[in-house]
Chains A and B, each alone.
Chain A
Amino acid sequence: MDVLYSAFSLLYQSGDAFAFLVLSACGLAVIFGMMGVINLAHGEFILCGAYVSTSATHMGLPLPLAIALGAGVAGLIGMLLERLIVRHLYSRPLDTIVATWGISMIVTQGTLIVLGSTMQGTGTPFGSFVVGNYSYSVYRIVLMGMALATLAALWLVFTRTRFGVLARATIQVPHIAQALGVNTGLIYSLTFGLGAALAGLAGGLYAPTMTLVPTMGSAFIVEAFVTVVIGGADIFLGTAPAAAILGVVKAALTSWQGQLAGQIGMLLAVIVVIRILPRGISGWILKERA
């Protein structure tokens, strides 16, 4: 039985790491895959989702609605930001990173000034269950389910809706899509909003499990960055498998040597992997297929 218990423990931890990586990276990956832009304010959209959903919970809204509200607000702010700033920089991807970093600084410090150094959390719901000698949080299982649901929903959006078809056309050849009558500006704006909303969703989902501080975004971005770096530009062929592989690596190292070893090991794995697969997993898969 002990073997089964530890197998379950490893599975649970891998699943937990996978969920964290998928949820924190998919917003970044959607924006990167579409526009080749890395949104360094990603962590601040997560922050926004977390703060909005927590305040909504404090006001008495049920948790699922509060999380949806957090994602919605982050998405709207994302679209606004795209209109005001990012739109002018599509021809200069490096400058976009710099500009979004500027936004990130303003938001982090602004949050600190306006809302103070911390915010009262809500506590993790659903309690826990026991397998073997360890108890596990039910909410973490919900998060794993949410990660899979998010991937499924994104797949449906990109393959089954009109927006998805137009978005993929815009990714492939923007000016032809435009010539065929696609409002590419609107598509970019909506995609940026979608990415921001996904970040807000991650923030809302993880808010009950974390301390809410203005710098909490930076707890997510390293994981999000490395997942996108080794995943490459495609969210389904890249981000999801990358999150699965990194999740196992991280869980194994974490249970062996602790949280930090998991993170360091993951980063080292990424640095070595990019030496071998410079275009990420999705680039490699696509090349094999072609």
Chain B
Amino acid sequence: MALLSRITSILTLLEGPQTLGRGRRFWSGFALVVAAASAYPLFADGYDVGNNVYFFNWTFMALGLCLIWGYGGSLSFGQTAFFGIAGYAYGVLTINLGDAYGLTLFALVAAVLISAVCAAILGYFLFFGRISGVFLGIVTLSVTLVMERFISQTAGPEWHIGTARLNGFNGMGAMPSLTIPWPGGPIVLFPDVALYYVTLVLLILVYLGLRMLVNSRFGNVIVAIRENPQRAEMLGYDVRKYQLGTFIIGSSLAGLSGVLYTSWGNYITPASMGMTAASLPIVWVAVGGRSDLTTTLFGSFLVLIGFQALTIYGSQYALVVMGALLVLTVLVAPSGIVASAVLLVSKRWMRKKPQSGEVS
């Protein structure tokens, strides 16, 4: 019984003050979206389904940045550094270890852990040095750019770890995809329907997990720190530890994105850490609405799909549009375009039906 009540008390954290969306209406909408996403491969070509996993791969990094920036209030521009570290770590580990016995899954976990450790080291110096605000942004960005330059010059044969060549600017390829060991022969997760479901399940778990995290005591404290660090400190919370914790969790999610991306395309390049790559997560999260997980998720999908469409029809202009979108968001809807739209619609809804509206 104690266990049961424990589980229910954890599950109630799925809704709370830090997340938009509650009650039957929200969760039936959620179920509908999940059902649609699960049904999608039934109506589409396996090749397209596999390609569209691409969009899922990035959302983990977006959710991580949402946690660090939106909830924690620390602007990190260096998420792609952890994306790259984990991607390269996965490549090096799997090329050396091979894909038998579920070793790729071990490599997945190890690569995410490596990016978490790197985040912990960098975060220690930043947060315990009480760097905040604009400096945090530019130090993390500098780290990313230097990392890109470092990997870019590893073209020579002397740059290898085990049998894995880093290959410099051209990037590292030919690492095995994630493989699940199975009694009837291992399931290799090529970009196809199987990978789609695995990534979808992972995304749902991470989304729900983060919802619980931000509504827990930890989440309330990091929001309090965002609102007023001094007040939080006076109330007895060690601001530095909470910020570091947030940074590590968010950066590990960026690492998870890196591993999934590398495994999906069997390929990673230093450009995935560069200036352009580093700016894109900022666009997704800012446009969506950084202070909420759901709006971030929706915004990221919208921007990613829009970016993809633009790259197909006018490849050069995609980045110009992204830049303009970013400037426009900051000027017109600082809390995010999706978030502002949601607020507007829900206000209308409340005004029209004051009786039936749920008390929130």
Contact = CB atoms under 8 A, between A and B. Distances in A.
A274 interface: yes
B20 interface: no
A58 interface: no
12 contacts: A38-B135, A38-B138, A103-B327, A105-B323, A106-B324, A110-B320, A222-B146, A225-B139, A228-B138, A264-B146, A275-B128, A278-B131
B134 A98 contact: no
B273 interface: no
A141 B130 CA distance: 39
B141 interface: yes
A270 interface: yes
A119 interface: no
B208 interface: no
B325 interface: yes
Contact of A98 (B274, B320, B326): B326
A257 to B, nearest CB: 12
A278 B320 contact: no
Interface centre among B138, B146, B319 (most CB of A within 10 A): B138
Where chain A touches its partner, the secondary structure class is helix
B275 A263 contact: no
A99 B129 contact: no
A93 interface: yes
Interface of B: 75, 122, 125-126, 128-131, 133-135, 137-139, 141-143, 145-146, 149-150, 153, 274-276, 279, 282-283, 286, 316-317, 319-320, 322-327, 330-331, 334
Given A94-B137, A106-B324, A275 B334 contact: no
B316 A109 contact: yes
Nearest to A276: B129
A89 to B, nearest CB: 7
Contact of B125 (A101, A226, A271): A271
Nearest to B145: A222
Given A36-B134, A93-B133, A94-B133, A263 B146 contact: yes
Nearest to A110: B320
A218 to B, nearest CB: 5
Interface in A247-265: 260, 263-264
Interface string A88-117: 110011110111011111101110110000
Interface in A1-55: 32, 36-38, 40
A85 interface: yes
Nearest to A105: B323
A103 B134 CA distance: 17
Contact of B326 (A38, A99, A108, A226): A99
Contacts of A245: none
Contacts of A97: 75, 134, 137-138
A264 B125 CA distance: 16
A142 B327 CA distance: 38
A89 B125 CA distance: 29
A264 B150 CA distance: 8
A267 B334 contact: no
Contacts of B139: 225-226, 229, 270-271, 274
Contacts of B276: 105
B141 A225 contact: yes
A65 interface: no
A274 B323 contact: no
A251 B303 CA distance: 43
Contact of A215 (B141, B275, B279): B275
Contact of A105 (B138, B274, B319): B319
Contact of A104 (B128, B146, B153, B323): B323
Nearest to A43: B275
Contacts of B286: 98
Contacts of B320: 105-106, 109-110, 113
B146 A275 contact: no
Contact of A113 (B131, B153, B316, B331): B316
Given A99-B326, A221-B142, A274-B135, 18 more contacts: A89-B331, A93-B134, A94-B134, A97-B75, A97-B134, A98-B326, A99-B327, A102-B325, A105-B326, A108-B275, A109-B316, A112-B316, A218-B145, A226-B139, A229-B138, A267-B143, A270-B142, A271-B122
Contact of A101 (B146, B282, B324): B282
Closest 3 CB pairs of A and B: A105-B323, A102-B326, A106-B323
A249 B131 CA distance: 23
A154 to B, nearest CB: 21
Nearest to B74: A94
Nearest to A107: B323
Nearest to A89: B330
A225 B323 contact: no
A272 interface: yes
A270 to B, nearest CB: 7
Given A101-B282, A105-B319, A109-B323, A274 B330 contact: no
Contacts of A85: 327, 331
B135 A229 contact: yes
